[in-house]
């Protein structure tokens, strides 16, 4: 698939993006690219009342879907979970002759404030397992996950470090999208 011709949909979930380092940088860099649409769920649905039809149409128009979020207690922010539960419905995402997202691609991209030592591979595998299952169940290709640790401002120089990490994260994500 030609990365320049395909459309990428970023499903961004961050309840306090204005206070973010990583997700703000990543989404800003992605927004500068061609053929990338960002749907910031917290801006679109602060009341959690999701326009299911509009979201399904956005998914249908994309070739690649990226879930972008900060890790909250080993999971997604609540609105992203609610969005998945409502949008990936029987008769749309799965069910008898209803795999409308079949052949599309999914990437999971998230940031963590904690150091790498807090998230060994077996923990990360459990964190991304629900997305791998969703992809398999809906006949979507799971391209993988990109994650970054130490995105915080807990000590002197941490913000500069987080900015560097976020910029590298963005470049890895763009490379995977265009792959």
pLDDT in tens, the chain (179 residues): 444 468 999 999 999 999 999 999 999 999 999 999 999 999 999 999 999 999 999 999 999 999 999 999 999 999 999 999 999 999 999 998 899 999 999 999 999 999 899 999 999 999 999 999 999 999 999 999 999 998 888 778 888 999 999 999 999 999 999 98
The beta strands (E) that lie in 8-140 are given as: 8-12, 36-40, 64-70, 105-111
Q: Measure the CA–CA gap between 129 and 94, rounded to whole angstroms.
A: 18
**At which residue do the structure tokens 């997305």 appear?**
131
Nearest to 17, CA basis, from 61, 62, 79: 79
Sheet arrangement for strand 36-40: 36-40, 8-12, 64-70, 105-111, 141-148
CA distance 126 to 142: 15
Q: Which superfamily does CATH assign the domain made up of 8-178 to?
A: Flavodoxin domain (3.40.50.360)
Q: What are phi and psi of 115, to 5 degrees?
A: -70, 160
pTM, rounded to two decimals: 0.94
Report the candidate in 156, 83, 73, 143 with the shortest Cα–Cα distance to residue 113: 73
């Amino acid at each position: 698939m030609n990365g320049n011709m395909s459309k990428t949909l970023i499903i961004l979930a961050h309840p306090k993006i204005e206070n973010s380092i990583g997700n703000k940088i990543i989404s800003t860099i992605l927004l500068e690219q061609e053929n990338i649409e960002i749907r910031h769920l917290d801006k679109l649905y602060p009341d959690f009342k999701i326009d299911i039809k509009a979201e399904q149409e956005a998914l249908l128009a994309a070739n690649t879907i990226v879930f972008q979020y900060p890790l909250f207690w080993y999971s997604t922010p609540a609105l992203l979970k609610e969005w998945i539960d409502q949008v990936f419905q029987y008769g749309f995402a799965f069910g008898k002759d209803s795999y409308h997202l079949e052949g599309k691609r999914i990437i999971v991209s998230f940031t963590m404030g904690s150091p790498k030592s807090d998230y060994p591979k077996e923990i990360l595998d459990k964190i991304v397992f629900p997305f791998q299952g969703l992809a398999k169940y809906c006949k979507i290709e799971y391209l993988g996950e990109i994650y970054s640790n130490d995105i915080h401002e807990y000590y002197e120089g941490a913000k500069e470090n987080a900015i560097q990490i976020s910029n590298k994260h963005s470049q890895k994500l763009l490379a995977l999208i265009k792959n």
